[in-house]
Chain A
């Protein structure tokens, strides 16, 4: 079956540091890949997505590239802010009536 593996965290960074959260996946076919963010006390929000190999999703300074050869979709941001503190989930959807599969979530804490 499908699976998503991401670093568990927590990840603690100083403001303006570079962020990488690794995500790798196992799936049949050609899934769509997503990053969601969950701020304290809220549900998940879509951060970015990519639907085919070599696509780059980007939003709010975050970006991730769909790498089929390494089955990866790592999340990056060049300069994090305190307001980026949240839990980040990598997810895949292989379509049809297969369920959306989420990683375990990585908690990011950015300190001033």
Chain B
């Protein structure tokens, strides 16, 4: 079974540009989560998509947005990049069964560097 895949692995952008990060969940999983992990900090929750709908959103400005496609893959967009957006962005997926008990399955992340 293929795990959660994220692309690209590394992304270098200039301040003010836009970044697009992609995630493919495990086959059969309908929920996709996005987290930001800045250096030396824990995981900051960004967005949660389930069945194509945004279900929950973390405390981030509107320039962080995303969507989930009919095949349950997801895209995270970050507009007007700032230096402090440099971080590892992790995507995770989970199944719908026993939603509260299902663990998250993480990809290896996209390392975004803003210069």
Measured CB to CB, the residues of A under 8 A from B are 31-32, 34, 36, 41-46, 49, 51, 89, 93-105
Q: What is the minimal beta-carbon distance from A38 to any residue of chain B, in angstroms? A: 8
B25 at the interface (CB under 8 A from A): no
Interface of A (DSSP majority class): loop
- Tell whether, in the assembled complex, residue A105 and residue B107 are in contact, meaning their CB atoms are under 8 Å apart: no
A9 to B8, CA, bound (A): 31
- Tell whether, in the assembled complex, residue A44 and residue B104 are in contact, meaning their CB atoms are under 8 Å apart: yes
Binds A, one of B40-48, B67-75, B77-85: B40-48
A97 to B104, CA, bound (A): 14
Our pick among B45, B100, B107 for the contact of A43 (Cβ within 8 Å) is B107
Given contacts A41-B108, A43-B4, A43-B106, whether A94 and B43 have CB atoms under 8 Å apart is no
- Tell whether, in the assembled complex, residue A100 and residue B99 are in contact, meaning their CB atoms are under 8 Å apart: no
A104 to B45, CA, bound (A): 12
Is the interface on chain B under 10, 10 to 19, 20 to 34, or 35 or more residues? 20 to 34
Q: Name A45's closest neighbour in chain B (CB-CB).
A: B106
Q: What is the minimal beta-carbon distance from A88 to any residue of chain B, in angstroms? A: 11
Our pick among A44, A51, A89, A98 for the contact of B56 (Cβ within 8 Å) is A98
A31 to B102, CA, bound (A): 11
- Tell whether, in the assembled complex, residue B4 and residue A51 are in contact, meaning their CB atoms are under 8 Å apart: no
Residues in chain B near residue A32, CB distance under 8 A = 100-101
Q: List 7 A-B contacts (CB under 8 A).
A: A46-B104, A46-B105, A89-B42, A96-B99, A97-B55, A100-B45, A102-B35
Our pick among A41, A89, A93, A103 for the contact of B100 (Cβ within 8 Å) is A93
Given contacts A43-B106, A46-B105, A89-B43, whether A99 and B56 have CB atoms under 8 Å apart is yes
B103 at the interface (CB under 8 A from A): yes
Residues in chain B near residue A104, CB distance under 8 A = 41-42
A51 to B103, CA, bound (A): 11
B109 at the interface (CB under 8 A from A): yes
B26 at the interface (CB under 8 A from A): no
Q: Name B46's closest neighbour in chain A (CB-CB).
A: A99
